[in-house]
Copies of this chain bind each other. A is one copy, B any other.
Amino acid sequence: MAEISPRKQPRQARARATCEAVKQAAARILVTGGPPALNTNAIAETAGVSVGTLYQYYPSKQAILAELVRDMRAGMLADIERGRAQAKGHDLRTAVRLMVGASLHHHRRDALGAEAMERAEAELPMDAETDALKRRIIALVAELLAGYGIADPELAARDLSAMTRGMAQAAVAAGETDFDALTERIARGAIGYLETGCN
């Protein structure tokens, strides 16, 4: 069983920089070469440090990946929270559009990175903290939906998240870059899902 939590907290500034460099390097490799290209030597070299240094901060290769994914989920939670704050007071359709837009926030910054990360997540053994983040994200969406009288808001939140993820993934794979258009299409599906449900 590979240890997954970080090994030691970087105390000095140099150490923190190293940590960051390692994560950046891993992320870059993941995007360019996919999971099979992600090996510790490559990470270390890309990060400009030695393997030994890498292992000072992460107890295993998986731990690096786990932290990367955790960061991604934490960012996503923040995006979703901002989205919900914006959505407050608007009608359902607008709220949905804003939430979908928020969900794609990290795609706007780095579409390939976002996709690589989400795919990597599937290969990882469950990490408690990441799992909590994911549940919190779904819960936030569910709360919002409940406020509009949606039935079974938990299930709806999961379905809409999955819908968003699936469509975003395909769009990125197809090379789309117009995220406003994509947001609009996803929102149509989402709204249809929610309103047809009320009939």
Contact = CB atoms under 8 A, between A and B. Distances in A.
How many chain copies?
A: 4
A162 interface: yes
Nearest to A158: B170
A139 to B, nearest CB: 15
A17 interface: no
A170 B174 contact: no
A163 B167 contact: yes
Q: Which of the four size classes fits the interface of chain A?
A: 20 to 34
Interface stretch (A80-88, A102-110, A184-192): A184-192
Contact of A191 (B167, B185, B196): B196
Contacts of A162: 166-167, 169-171
A123 interface: yes
A35 interface: yes
Interface in A148-174: 155, 158-159, 161-167, 169-171, 174
A20 interface: no
B171 A167 contact: no
A100 to B, nearest CB: 12
A159 B185 contact: yes
Nearest to A194: B192
A195 interface: yes
Contacts of A196: 188, 191-192
Contact of A189 (B36, B122, B189): B189
Interface in A92-106: none
B170 A169 contact: no
Contacts of A193: 185, 188-189, 192
Nearest to A34: B123
